[in-house]
Amino acid sequence: MTPGTIDLAGVSTAYEGSDLPVIRGISFSVAAGEFVVVGGPNGAGKTTLLETINGMLPITHGRATVCGLDVAASGTGVRTKVGYVIQNFAFDPLAPFTVGNVVIMGRYGILGYGRQPGEEDHRMAEEAMRLLGIEDLADRSIGKLSGGQQQKVLIAHNLAKKPEILLLDEPFSNLDLFTRSFVCDILTGIADAGCTVVMVSHAFDALPDREVRILAMKDGMLSLDARCRGDEVEEKIRNLSGSVHA
HSE-up of 237 (CA within 13 Å, CB side)?
25
Q: Which secondary-structure segment (H or E) carries 79? A: helix 75-81
Choice between 137 and 233, CB closer to Mg ion: 233
Choice between 45 and 100, CB closer to ligand ADP: 45
Examine residue 45 and tell whether it contacts ligand ADP (CB under 6 A).
yes
Examine residue 202 and tell whether it contacts ligand ADP (CB under 6 A).
no
Rounded distance, CA 129 to CA 145, Å? 15
| Count of residues of this chain found to bind ligand ADP when the rule CB under 6 A is applied | 11
Examine residue 54 and tell whether it contacts Mg ion (CB under 5 A).
no
Among 5, 13, 47, 150, binds Mg ion (CB under 5 A): 47
Examine residue 47 and tell whether it contacts ligand ADP (CB under 6 A).
yes
Q: Report which of 190, 163, 185, 161 is spatially closest to residue 172, judged by C-alpha positions.
A: 185
Q: Report which of 55, 42, 67, 68 is spatially closest to residue 11, judged by C-alpha positions.
A: 55
Decide which of Mg ion, ligand ADP, none touches 106; Cβ closer than 5 to 8 Å per partner kind: none
What is the gyration radius of the CA atoms in the chain, in angstroms? 18
* Shortest distance (Å) from residue 43 CB to ligand ADP: 4
Decide which of ligand ADP, Mg ion, none touches 179; Cβ closer than 5 to 8 Å per partner kind: none
* Shortest distance (Å) from residue 52 CB to ligand ADP: 9
Residue 89: CB atoms within 10 Å: 13
